[in-house]
Structure 1
Amino acid sequence: MAYYITKLAVTVLLVVLISEVAKRSSFIGAVLASVPLTSVLAILWIYVETGDIGRISDLSVSIFWLVLPSLVLFIALPVLLTQGVNFFLSMALSIGATALSYWLVVVILGHFGVEL
Structure 2
Amino acid sequence: MYYYIVKIITTTLLIVVISEISKRSTLIGSILASIPLVSVLAMIWLYVDTGNTQKVTELSYSIFWLVLPSLTLFLSLMLLLKRGVGFYPSMALSIILTILAYYLMIALLEKFGIKL
| TM-score, with structure 2 as normaliser | 0.99
After TM superposition, the structure 1 = structure 2 runs for residues 79-90 of structure 1, keeping only pairs within 5 Å, are: 79-90=79-90
Offset of 1:18 from its aligned partner? 0.3
Give me the CA root mean square deviation.
Answer: 0.4
1:100 corresponds in structure 2 to: 100
Distance (whole Å) between structure 1 residues aligned to residue 91 and residue 59 of structure 2? 27
Partners of 1:66 and 1:80 lie apart in 2 by 22
Identity fraction in percent: 56
Moved over 2 A (4+): none
- Mapped to 2, the partners of 1:30 and 1:95 lie a distance apart of 19
Give the distance between the partners of 1:84 and 1:91, measured in 2 at CA: 13
1:20-39 matches, within 5 Å, as 20-39=20-39
Q: TM-score, normalised by structure 1?
A: 0.99
Q: Which residue of 2 aligns with 1:67?
A: 67
CA separation in 2, counterparts of 1:48 and 1:73?
A: 31
* Residue correspondence of structure 1 range 42-57 to structure 2 within 5 A: 42-57=42-57
Shift of residue 12, structure 1, vs aligned partner:
0.4
Q: Give the corresponding residue for 1:40.
A: 40
What letter is aligned with 1:87? F
- What residue ranges of structure 1 are gaps of 5+ in the alignment? none
Residue 113 of structure 1, CA deviation: 0.6
- Partners of 2:82 and 2:101 lie apart in 1 by 22
Aligned-partner residue type, residue 83 of structure 1 = R
| Residues 74-96 of structure 1: per-residue CA shift (max 9 Å, x gap) | 10001000101011000000000
| Counterparts of 2:21 and 2:112, CA distance in 1 | 42
> In structure 1, what is the Cα distance between the partners aligned to 2:46 and 2:90?
34
SS of match in other structure, 1:114: coil
Helix, strand or coil at the partner of 2:114 = coil
Q: What count of residue pairs does the alignment treat as equivalent?
A: 116
Specify the SS of the correspondent of 1:85: coil
